[in-house]
Chains A and B, each alone.
Chain A
C-alpha cells in the first residue's frame, strides 16, 4: 500500500488498549477520530531509546499545549501487543493525555502504508516513525521519517503546523 498522504481519508481499522479500569478494549479508528482533531504518532518499538526518551516524552510534555490548540486526542501507536503498550505507558507516570494503543498485527500500519521491515534488528514488521495530524478523518499533516532519524515527527513539528 502506498504511504498515506495529505488530503487522504485515513483507513478504518482496529486498535487495542487497556483502559483505566485495566480492561482490554478494541476500538475502531474511525469511531475514535470522526469529527475530531487527532494526532497519531507512531514509534517502531516500545522500550527502545529514541522512542522512549525523545519521541514519546516530547508529546507528553506538549500535550497540554496541543490540547489548548484544539487537539482532541493524541494517540501513540506501535506494532506491539496491548500488554506491552500498557507496561510501557506505565513508565511515563507523568503522562495525562497521550493514549498508548496497540497495532499488534501491524494491520493498521500496513493499511496506512507506513510499515517497515526491521527483522535484522530483531523486530519483524514494525511502523515507521511518523506523526499525522488528522482532522475529521482527513490527513492534514503527514510527517514521516525516512529512516531511523528523528527529524520531522516530533511534537514541536506538529505544533508548528497548527
Chain B
C-alpha cells in the first residue's frame, strides 16, 4: 500500500506533509487535522421535521458548534434508507451508545448527503434519535471539504460520501477510518472506533494490542529457535567432519 501510494504525486505530497498516516488516497484530512479550520464556512443541518425547520427558520449548525470543546464520534455513510447504512452501520453505533458515554464522548453523530427531513424520517424509522444526532449535508459541502465525497451515480444515488468514521476531540481528528469501498463495512463501525478510543487511552496498547504483542513475540521466538537449531546443527556438522 505504501509503495503504490508513493508512486503517485499526491501520495508523495501527503507522505511529506502528513507523515505515514497521511497516506490515505481519498481524504484530504488525516489524523491530527483540525476539522474546524479545514472547513470554516461549512455547516450542517440537524435532522428535523418540516415544522421544526420552519420554526427554526431553517437554521444550520456550524462545525464549531458541533466540535469545539467536545469529544465527538462522527460517522458518515452513502445514504439514508440504504442497505448497509440501515442494517449495519447505524446499529453498530446505537448499540454501543452506553460504552461511548462511559468513555466521556459528548455526542455520537451520523451524517449523510441527504436533506435534514429525510434524515429525520430515517432516524425515526431506526428509532435512533435518542442515541445518535443525525445531520444532513444536503449539498455535500462538508464531505467535499474533507475530500470524502464519491460519485455514486451508478447506484442511482448521485454525489454522496464514502463510508467513514472519526473520533474528534475539540475539533482535532484523533482517529479516522475510511472504507475502501462504500459498500464495505470493515473499519467504520462503532466497535472498531470504540476499540481505537480505548487504545488511545493506553499508550502501551497504542500501536498493537497485547494479543498482537504475543503473536509477534511467538513468531520471533520461532525464528530464534529454528535459527539456533540450524546454527547448532551446522556447527555440529562442521565439527564432526
Contact = CB atoms under 8 A, between A and B. Distances in A.
Given A83-B80, A122-B58, A16 B53 contact: no
Interface string A56-84: 00000000000000000000000011111
A57 B141 CA distance: 34
Contact of A86 (B51, B81, B117): B81
A46 interface: yes
A144 to B, nearest CB: 21
Given A48-B50, A81-B79, A81-B157, A87 B125 contact: yes
Nearest to B125: A87
B129 to A, nearest CB: 14
A47 B81 contact: no
A121 B81 contact: no
B116 A122 contact: yes
A84 B80 contact: yes
Contact of A47 (B51, B58, B121): B121
A122 B115 contact: yes
B158 A105 contact: yes
Contacts of A104: 156-158
Nearest to B51: A49
B118 interface: yes
B139 A121 contact: no
A59 B138 CA distance: 28
A148 to B, nearest CB: 10
Chain B: number of interface residues, binned into ranges: 20 to 34
Interface in B106-149: 114-118, 120-122, 125, 136, 138-139
A26 B49 CA distance: 30
Interface string B144-175: 00000000010011100000000000000000
B171 to A, nearest CB: 24
Contacts of B121: 46-47, 87-88, 91
A80 B153 CA distance: 13
A47 B117 contact: yes
A65 to B, nearest CB: 29
Contacts of B10: none
Nearest to A17: B156
B82 interface: yes
Given A48-B117, A84-B81, A104-B157, A121 B58 contact: yes
B156 A45 contact: no
A24 interface: yes
Contact of A122 (B51, B82, B136): B136
A82 B58 contact: no
Contacts of A24: 156
Given A105-B153, A121-B53, 13 more contacts: A26-B156, A45-B115, A45-B118, A46-B121, A47-B121, A49-B50, A50-B50, A83-B80, A122-B45, A122-B53, A122-B58, A123-B138, A124-B139
Interface of B: 45, 49-51, 53, 58, 60, 79-82, 114-118, 120-122, 125, 136, 138-139, 153, 156-158
20 contacts: A24-B156, A47-B120, A47-B121, A48-B50, A49-B50, A80-B118, A81-B79, A83-B81, A83-B82, A84-B79, A84-B80, A84-B81, A84-B114, A87-B81, A87-B125, A104-B156, A119-B139, A120-B58, A122-B45, A124-B139
